Structure formats: structure tokens, C-alpha cells
Structure 1
């Protein structure tokens, strides 16, 4: 498949050699016109991955259904058969986050659910009736056994109503950060800074910027929904950077637990790129199934949820299978090392996610 209109001239624009067909035999550049239609920018990008020899589709099939195959093939030196690891990861990462930006995987209500006037009135009447019953019993002066039972029921209704109100207030996204909201017991920046002067802490390098941002947002009168929305958007934009940063960390953990003479850090990097490419694809598939479940009948949604569970557990099992097939360790040893690596990476990635959330919070305007 040609990536553009071929030139009539036979001289290579790159090195000057004669080009008999499409590509220069000396430097490999394609002999096409220097100016192309605007859509060429996009078609060229797609064609590079889906060209005639099916390299991209073969890569995808092996990546998804043959754990470890791409890594083994690449390390054996057979590097023309499949898409190179770095190129594959960048392409899948681009597609995944582009689709997430256009079609958000989860629909979050940042405004909070509004309680109808009828519901408010019904709840108020229920609480008022309970209080009248309690006052009536107390007015009689003497309590019978059934009165004690009634009092307990009324108190339970009033208590449940208060707890429900507190819970709703906690999750009410339309509520502003008013004086009820505190940071470590402080309601404003001035009192917080005064307290920190008297009682400094080792974690002040983290706590102080977060507290200052909290009080800044509080002074602006932003709602919880606005904070959650901005935090979600900022975190999402930073996620590709976080994953890219974590790539060498994941490879480093692999390097620690394997023979340094047999396996180079480079080898672990190839394994990591393939595994992370697989994870991005499964995340994309999982989010697609989730959105599909929201627009299908209940009977079909049950099947989709089952598929989501299959995808989730397969993404966990995949690592152990790929690890076993690439590193060729004994089954039990491979499982033990894989479990330790899984645990290390889980906590390391959670630490990275917390750091990402903190940075994203500080970036809110």
C-alpha cells in the first residue's frame, strides 16, 4: 500500500540515487510527492500500523492471546515480524487515551442528585409525626410497656433520618466548602500556618501545599462537585505520564528478582512494554463493555458483566503466564516470584497513584 502519490522523477530526494520502483535501494525512502492532501497525515499514521503484510493485526493477536510470545520473538532477534515494542506501546497509549477523552469511560454526576420537593415534604412529615407521637407519650406522664416500644421506634426513626441527612450532605456534590469543612482541625489558612509554626511535622513538605490549596479553594467558594470534576480531569491528563514514568520502575523490579548475567535490564524493558500494552488494551476493552452494559437490556447486561469479570481475571493471570513463558523458571518458583513482583508493583503503583492525585489536586485552579 502506497503512503502517497508517487513522483514521476526517478531521483531520490533524500540521497540522489536512482529509484526504480517505490523505495530507494540506497536509503529506503519512498519516492512520493513532497506535498500531499491534509488527510494524508492521518492515513499515513494508520497505514504505518495496518499495512498490507498484517504486521499490526498479527501483533495484536499474539499480544492478547499468546502471553510472552512477542517478548520471546523480539529477544530471539526476529524483529521484523511484529510491531516494535516502543512503537506498539506509544500507538496503543495514544488510541486508549484519545478514545477516553472523546468517550469518557465512566459517567460521573458532579452536581449531585437533587431531592424532589415531594420527597423532602414526605420526609419532613414523617419526622414531624414521629416527634408528635413522642411528645404525646411523654405528656401522659406514665409509660406502659407498649409506650416504651413506641418510644424506641420513634427514636430510631429520628436517628436514621439524621444519619441519612448526614450521609447525603457528605455526598452532596453541590455543597460548597464552607466553615463546616476543616483540614486537620483548622478552618482557615491563618490558623493552620500558626499551628504549623508551633507544631512542625516531617510531612509538612506535603501537608502544607495541600492545606494551602484546600483553603484557597474554600475561599473561592467552589463546590465539592467542581473539585471532583477538576481533580478527575487533571488526573486523567496526567495518567499517561504516570504510566510512562512507571515503566522503568516495573522493569527494575523484574531486574531485581532475576539472574543479572542471563537477563539484562533491556530484556525486562521489552517484557514491560508488551505487558503494559496489553494492560492498556484490556482497560480499553473493560471500559467499552461497561458503557455497553449501560445501554443494553438486563438479560444481556448480565452476560456483559460476566465478560467484564473474565477480562479482569484474565489480566491478572496473563502476567503469571507471560512471566513463566519468557523467563523459563520452574512453575512453582515462577509463581512465587510472580506473586512477589505483583505485590511490590501493586504497592508501588498505589504510591504513584496517590502522588498523582496529590499533584492533580495542587494543579486545580
Structure 2
């Protein structure tokens, strides 16, 4: 990058500066021209957030091998010796969610609900629905359409209801999805068909939202994965609050427990992300690496809490179990809300 021009005064406080001054003696701002192109600005922003300087590698050794040491150092006032907890969290959370994007297929909903994978052209709305739906169901759909056009209740009984209902219940997820993306199938027809199929669901959603979910299941998964980092960042203060409640008699501020939360989550992201990366690189199919990672993350968190709060090991273990159970419930609730809001945004 081209060297930035020094100025004769500080842009922050206005103090006059000689040419040899790299920083303002009054406010500490670096003596350089702050008017830069967008590219330079973004480069400096990324560098400041994710720079891997000597401090980062010094932090890495303590971070990985001494649970709780970074939290104690930061809370005791050592703010320049190690990488800031927030920056550490951002680095490893981005790494983790980046590799997560490779292992979560966009069509995971289709794979879970369908007996066979969707064909490559499953997203094409020009598919001939008549070739995909059983004849008995086609007759049922036609009668529902005629009833809807005549203003009659769309899901009224029709001739031979047992056979047509049975055929509708046998509709696969693939066939239901074909109907959802076909512009010639009306909302009334699709809703009635979905209600009689084995994939009927409500969740308080309107018929339009249910159809949008089925038609855009790929988009739903992609959107949900993108929202995960934000969800975890929102839940992190809840994790710190649980620690604060469990150790309320300790003379500690809430923010100190939040720093511990940043460090513990960063370690989990680093290790789980590394395991996922190894599985992707070497095509490993077993879960033994993930199980080892879970044990290491759990052990790391326990010893970090033990080092910071200095209580008896058994008392710490009991509180650790309570913390784990409480946070698991919070994670499940947060995941459910995140999926629900992602569904509403379709």
C-alpha cells in the first residue's frame, strides 16, 4: 500500500505536529492523511480487525493451552499484551461459520423429507405436473379447483374420498414441491392438497407462507445459515448472564463474565471449525473427531471456570452442569426462534 502523507496538525484535536511525529502527543491519533479511496479504507478496516501480527500469535498459545488465562489477564487490566477478546471472537466465529457453509447443503430440507434427491431441474416451474401426480389425485385437484371457482368449500368430500385421500397421503415431498412451484396451481388447491398429504403442518403460518416455505426450502436453509452468527452473538450475553447468576456472590462485574463468554465461544469455534475443515479435506465420514472436539471444548470450559472463580472442583462441576443444561435450553430456544423468523421472512 502506498505510504500515507503526514500532516502538520492533528486532525482529531488540532495540535500542531512536526514532520517527525508519527502520533499526536495529546490524543494519540496517528499522524497521517485520513482522506483515502474506498479500497484503502476497507483494507485498513479488515487489517485492524483481523491482522495476524505478533500479538495474535502470542495470544494464540495462551488461548489454546491455558484455559481462562486470557480472561484473567484482560479483567486484571492487561489490555495491550493480548488480542482483544472481541477481535478473537470475530476471527474464529467467521472461520467457523465460513466452513459451516460448506457442510450444510442448500437442499437439506428436501434430502431429509424426500425418499430420493430432487432432480436437477426440480426448481423449474415449467415441469409438467400431470406427469408427476397420480391420476386419482389429479381428479381430486380438478374437483377442488371447480369447487373453489363455484364458491364451495375447497376441501369438501368428493366421490370416492377414500381412494383419493389415500393417494394424496402417498404424495412424496418432491411431488408436493412440484405443486408449490407450479403457477397454474391455485392457493386453494395447494392448501387442500397439503392438508390431506402426510406433510401437513401449521405453525401458525398462513397458507401463503406454508407454500412459500415448500417452494423456497433452499432459500430458507441458506437464510437460516446466514442468520446463525447473529443469533449466537445475541445469545452470548445470555450465556454470560447465566454465569453471573451462578456466581452472584463473587465480586465480579457482568462484563467480566461476558469476556469469559467471548473466549469460550472463540475456542469452541476454533476447534469445531478445525474438525469440520479436516473432515472436508480428507473426506472423513465418522464422528470420532467431533466427539473428541466436544470433550476438549467441555474440558476447556470447565478448567477455565475453575481457574477464574477458584471454587472447589466438585462445586464447580455441579455449577458447570447447571450452566451447560441452561445454555443448551437457551440454544434450542434461540435456534427455534431463528428458524421461525427465517421462515417468516420468506
Length-normalised TM-score, structure 1: 0.65
* 1:23 maps to 2:36: no
Query: Which structure 2 residues correspond to residues 1-365 of structure 1 after superposition, within 5 A?
Result: 5-14=3-12, 15-19=14-18, 20-36=20-36, 38-48=38-48, 54-97=54-97, 99-100=98-99, 104-109=102-107, 113=116, 169=172, 175-176=178-179, 178=190, 179-182=192-195, 207-208=203-204, 210=205, 212=206, 215-217=207-209, 224=214, 226-294=215-283, 301=284, 306-364=288-346
Which blocks of at least 5 consecutive residues in structure 2 are unaligned? 120-168, 181-189
Change beyond 3 A, Cα 1:286–1:186: closer
Deviations 1:128-170 (A, max 9, x none): xxxxxxxxxxxxxxxxxxxxxxxxxxxxxxxxxxxxx96x935
CA change 1:69–1:238 in 2 (3 A) is same
Ranges of 4+ aligned residues in structure 1 off by more than 6 Å: 183-188
Aligned residues: 281
Shift in Å, 1:219: 5.4
User: 1:293 offset after TM fit, Å?
Assistant: 3.2
Offset from partner CA, 1:94-146 (integer Å, 9 cap, x none) = 4544x359x53333546664699xxxxxxxxxxxxxxxxxxxxxxxxxxxxxx
CA shift, 1:53, in A, is 5.7
CA contact (8 A) 1:22 1:31 kept: yes
Q: Secondary structure at the match of 1:104?
A: helix
Deviation at 1:250, TM superposition (A): 0.7
Looking at structure 1, the residues matched to 49 and 209 of structure 2 have their Cα atoms a distance apart, in angstroms, of 46
Note the C-alpha offset of 1:343. Answer: 0.6
The one-character-per-residue Cα deviations of 1:203-238 (angstroms, maximum 9, x if unpaired) are xxxx43x2x1xx114556x7x4x4431221221222
Matches of 1:12 and 1:183 in 2, distance apart? 73
Contact 2:239–2:261 under 8 Å retained in 1: yes
**Contact 1:50-1:57 within 8 A present in 2 as well:** no
Q: Is the CA contact 1:85–1:270 (under 8 Å) kept in the aligned structure 2?
A: yes
CA distance 1:231–1:114, shift in 2 (3 Å) = closer
In 2, Cα distance between the equivalents of 1:176 and 1:56?
54
C-alpha separation between the residues in 2 aligned to 1:95 and 1:40? 24
Deviations 1:312-359 (A, max 9, x none): 321222211211111111111111110110011101110111111111
- Cα deviation for residue 360 of structure 1 reads 1.1
In 2, Cα distance between equivalents of 1:234 and 1:24: 46
Structure 1 distance, partners of 2:11, 2:94, is 31
- Distance (whole Å) between structure 1 residues aligned to residue 276 and residue 311 of structure 2: 34
Q: Give ranges in structure 1 of 5+ residues lacking alignment.
A: 117-164, 193-206, 295-300
Q: CA deviation at 1:39?
A: 4.3
Partners of 2:243 and 2:332 lie apart in 1 by 18
RMSD: 3.7
| Secondary structure at 1:32 match in 2 | coil
Q: CA deviation at 1:18?
A: 1.8
Secondary structure class of the residue paired with 2:251: coil
